[in-house]
């Protein structure tokens, strides 16, 4: 047997054993999702030939299964190659699963949704930490994809995920984050994690330099000169200035300042990088200056580090892929636990596609172009023949008779309706923000 096929078969068998109860129906459901391009409801997956059970088992398996996210994460980490030269690149971001018309679902909240017509939506938030394997392309392989509960924030949940990954990964890590994480809260919550962070910060942010020598009177100063990003008069000479030629973006000017910090994390120094596109009239990336912050032990050269940040967008591609192709937002499940079990299948299926991308026989639609490096969607489109060839570790169904159903005359109670959770800042934090 081909080595790649044997690796995929072994991965599927080990992942099957991590699903807990109802693992046969759950695993067959994942195969049905991979081979179903269009679905209008959750029961549509029972029409797939890979799902050998009745349609009601689709719902029952999500009630009964217990995927173990820790064991699945360990399985994913084993597939990361050990020949990474500098860093293991991880992307961190969060997204929403809209459920505006589900008042009986617990822990719904207000979430930002920039791609929709409105700015916010009602639903559940999920945060993801993913390994980004390539220097280009749309592949992002999630290690953890978990719900943000009502008592957590995206920053606290992402910090917890990063801590769990670094515990099990004995390799240097570079975490890429968007501007929502570019603040003192993220820095303070990850100070004890052995990981390097490269994050974008907003253009109206203020940083501070190190204070001068202690004068001997009063409390020692925590902050030095102010560095305001949108006021060039507050800038001082950069430590390093480099101009590079990018084949797509043209001439890029890079500047670096060191020994800066956020106001509320004065003990942690950072390197500030400004990325400017000289010819900004052309359409594409970097229409505006890009401000990056690096926190870690040893920063690579600025010619390389700014290119690393552009790979963070692979996580956004994955979010689009699971919503459009893996049908993540399709089912209207009734409890948060069922939503979490359903969401745990998304990383599992993505890793199956990654392991199969070099061995599938590409199936192209008449209007699609040939691809050298297959995207996740193109691999999912070509998985049918491969799954038929390698088979499934799931056992065939065992008929157990018919359920007696609902007893005649038994009263049906209406389900409880839950209010939408509103997360607000405390009065003390609002007062501090006004002062600053």
Q: What are phi and psi of 4, to 5 degrees?
A: -65, -40
CA neighbor of 284 nearest in space, from 338, 257, 248, 317: 248
| Strand-pair partners of 276 | 253
Percent of all residues in the chain with a pLDDT value above 70, rounded to a whole number? 94
DSSP-based helix, strand, coil % in the chain, nearest 5? 35, 20, 45
Query: Which residues are registered as beta bridge partners of 226?
Result: 208
Ordered by where they begin, the domains of the chain are 1-71+327-400 (no CATH), 80-206+222-324 (3.90.350.10)
Q: Are 142 and 278 in contact (CB under 8 A)?
A: no
Instruction: For 10-32, give the DSSP string.
Output: HHHHHHHTTS-TTHHHHHHHHHH
Structure tokens belonging to residue 263: 């106001």
Question: What are the pLDDT digits (tens) for 2-36?
Answer: 778 999 999 999 999 999 999 999 999 999 999 99
Number of continuous H segments (helices) and E segments (strands) in the chain? 12, 12
- The mean pLDDT of 398-414, rounded to a whole number, is 85
Which residue matches tokens 């791609």?
Answer: 115
User: What does the pLDDT read at residue 137?
Assistant: 86
The pTM (predicted TM-score) of the whole model is 0.92
Question: What is residue 81's predicted lDDT score, i.e. its pLDDT?
Answer: 86
The sign one gets for the Cα dihedral 295, 301, 303, 305 is negative
| Angle formed by the axes of helices 336-356 and 23-34, nearest 10° | 60
Pairing state between β 226-228 and 141-148:
unpaired
CB 357 within 8 A of CB 4: no
Per residue in 238-269, pLDDT (tens digit) is: 999 999 988 888 889 999 999 999 999 989 99
Q: Rounded distance, CA 115 to CA 190, Å?
A: 30
Which neighbouring-strand residues pair with 292? 200, 273
What pLDDT, on a 0 to 100 scale, did the predictor assign at position 84? 55
Residue owning tokens 């172009």: 369
What is residue 378's predicted lDDT score, i.e. its pLDDT? Answer: 94
The whole-angstrom separation of Cα 170 and Cα 367 is 45
The pLDDT-based confidence of 436 (bands split at 50, 70, 90) is very low
């Amino acid at each position: 047997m081909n080595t790649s096929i044997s690796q995929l078969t072994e991965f599927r068998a080990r992942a099957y054993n991590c699903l807990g109860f109802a693992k046969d129906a759950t695993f067959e459901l994942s195969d049905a999702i991979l081979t179903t391009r269009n679905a209008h409801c959750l029961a549509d997956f029972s029409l797939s030939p890979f799902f050998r059970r009745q349609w009601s088992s689709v719902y029952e398996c999500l009630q009964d299964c217990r995927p173990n996210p820790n064991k699945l994460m360990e399985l994913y980490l084993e597939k990361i190659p050990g020949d990474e030269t500098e860093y293991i690149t991880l992307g961190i971001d969060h997204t929403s699963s809209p459920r505006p018309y589900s008042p009986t679902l617990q822990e719904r909240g207000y979430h930002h949704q920039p791609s929709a017509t409105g700015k916010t939506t009602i639903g559940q938030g999920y945060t993801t930490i993913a390994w980004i394997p390539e220097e280009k392309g749309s592949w992002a392989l999630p290690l953890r994809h978990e719900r943000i509960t009502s008592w957590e924030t995206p920053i606290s949940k992402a910090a917890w995920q990063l801590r769990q990954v670094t515990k099990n990964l004995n390799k240097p890590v570079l975490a890429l984050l968007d501007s929502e994480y570019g603040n003192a809260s993220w820095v303070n919550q990850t100070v004890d994690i052995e990981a390097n962070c490269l994050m974008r910060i907003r253009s109206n942010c203020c940083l501070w330099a190190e204070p001068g020598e202690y004068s001997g009177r009063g409390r020692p100063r925590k902050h030095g000169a102010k560095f305001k990003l949108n006021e060039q008069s507050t800038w001082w000479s950069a430590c390093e200035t480099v101009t590079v030629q990018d084949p797509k973006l043209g001439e890029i000017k890079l500047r670096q300042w060191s020994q800066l910090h956020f106001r509320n994390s004065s003990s942690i120094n950072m390197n500030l990088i400004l990325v400017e596109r000289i010819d900004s009239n052309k359409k594409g990336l970097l229409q505006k200056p890009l401000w990056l912050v690096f926190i870690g032990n040893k920063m690579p050269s600025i010619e390389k580090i700014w290119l690393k940040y552009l790979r963070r967008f692979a996580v956004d591609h994955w979010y689009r892929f699971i919503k459009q192709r893996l049908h993540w937002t399709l089912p209207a499940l009734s409890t948060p636990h069922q939503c979490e079990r359903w969401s745990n299948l998304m990383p599992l299926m993505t890793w199956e596609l990654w392991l199969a991308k070099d061995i599938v026989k590409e199936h192209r639609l008449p209007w699609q172009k040939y691809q050298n490096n297959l995207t996740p969607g193109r691999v999912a489109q070509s998985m049918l023949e491969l799954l038929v060839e390698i088979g499934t570790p799931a056992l065939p169904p065992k008929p157990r008779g018919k359920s007696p159903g609902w007893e005649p005359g038994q009263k049906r109670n209406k389900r409880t309706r839950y209010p939408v959770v509103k997360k607000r800042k405390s009065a003390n934090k609002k007062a501090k923000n006004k002062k600053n």
